[in-house]
Chain A
Amino acid sequence: MKWAVVVFPGSNCDEDAAQAVRETTGDTVDLVWHDATDLSQYDAIILPGGFSYGDYLRSGAIARFSPAVEAVRREVAEGKLVLGICNGFQVLTESHLLPGALLRNNHLQFRCEMVELIVDNNTSPFTRAYQLGERIQIPIAHGEGRFHADPETVADLRNEGRIAFRYAHSPNGSVADIAGILGQGGNVLGLMPHPERAIFDWMGSVDGRRLFQSMHQYVEEGLAHARANA
């Protein structure tokens, strides 16, 4: 399978994300500039962390209008996998590809530390390699990660099994301790923690590996199925 990592002016986790995919899946990854208008050749797309467009106006607010995000919107409709990490999650909420919004942390501090997450859904294409309720260690690095949505939206997310990860101890005041959520079709995941920073022992955790491997497995099974039916 083939992956794309979209690079915006101000992205700074793009190389890390690409490296994580290569190291954990052995797949091909292209770094794609934000002016790309067609991403149809890719099976999975990552919107990486960073400060796209300097986080001007609001995090992710300007990136939302880039051609690549329009292309991402089309691929989401096609059922392709889209993973937004940190700033990528903010871009996805600003683009309405995911509900809610990410606000300043409730204590106003930028937090850069390892946190414990609880896997709340292990049936999605992103989380199938985890155990339900499993506690995993993934680092965060954000100042604006407080997930906010109205109570009805949060209830929908909960009832539809679209809360992928929750914080064991919320570092930012997110509603319902939400760390990552799935889109309506289950093929979009946005999360504030950085799985690409937890793929080697020397990083302090390897719990991020299975996220990329889940996606790889899911896509490869689909491709194999398509080949068998061809």
Chain B
Amino acid sequence: MKTFDVEVRVWLKPSVFDPQGHAVEQALHTLGFDGAQNVRIGKYMHLTVTGDTEEEARKSVEQMCERVLSNPVMETYAYELKETVV
């Protein structure tokens, strides 16, 4: 059994208005960062999973993302997975 380190990012789909991102973008402009655009705010989650193979671990992480960690109606996700070296 191997252990994998997983980093999951979840953010609103491009088609969904992100009022937090919008507010932060305004703040950046106020500070003079005129070039800052398309600010989107998301969530970062860190976890470890176990599995016999990397493929199995990936499948399990994808199910977690689809069923719990993100809501596909409004959000999208990405993740990185690395085997932990003991």
User: Which residues from chain A sit less than 8 Å from chain B, CB to CB?
Assistant: 57-58, 61, 65, 93-94, 99-101, 103-108, 148-150, 173
User: Which residues from chain B sit less than 8 Å from chain A, CB to CB?
Assistant: 12, 15-17, 19-20, 23, 68-69, 71, 73-74
A150 to B12, CA, bound (A): 13
- Find out whether the CB atom of A57 lies under 8 angstroms from the CB atom of B19: no
Residues on B with beta carbons closer than 8 Å to the beta carbon of A148: 16, 73-74
Residues on B with beta carbons closer than 8 Å to the beta carbon of A61: 68, 71
- Find out whether the CB atom of B74 lies under 8 angstroms from the CB atom of A104: no
Question: Chain A's nearest CB lies how many Å from the CB of B1?
Answer: 26
* Secondary structure call for the A interface: loop
A130 to B69, CA, bound (A): 39
- Find out whether the CB atom of B23 lies under 8 angstroms from the CB atom of A108: yes
Residues on B with beta carbons closer than 8 Å to the beta carbon of A99: 73
A7 to B34, CA, bound (A): 48
- Beyond A101-B74, A148-B74, whether A107 also contacts B19 by CB under 8 A is yes
- Find out whether the CB atom of B71 lies under 8 angstroms from the CB atom of A104: no
A101 to B76, CA, bound (A): 14
Residues on B with beta carbons closer than 8 Å to the beta carbon of A58: 71
- Find out whether the CB atom of A94 lies under 8 angstroms from the CB atom of B19: no
Residues on B with beta carbons closer than 8 Å to the beta carbon of A100: 73
- Find out whether the CB atom of A57 lies under 8 angstroms from the CB atom of B73: no
Residues on A with beta carbons closer than 8 Å to the beta carbon of B68: 57, 61, 65
Residue of A57, A94, A106, A149 near B17 (CB, 8 A) is: A106
- Selected A-B contacts with CB under 8 Å, 28 pairs: A57-B68, A57-B69, A58-B71, A61-B68, A61-B71, A93-B73, A99-B73, A100-B73, A101-B71, A101-B73, A101-B74, A103-B12, A103-B16, A103-B74, A104-B19, A104-B20, A105-B19, A106-B19, A107-B19, A108-B19, A108-B20, A108-B23, A148-B16, A148-B73, A148-B74, A149-B73, A150-B15, A173-B17
The 5 closest A-B pairs by CB, nearest first: A101-B73, A101-B74, A108-B19, A106-B19, A148-B74
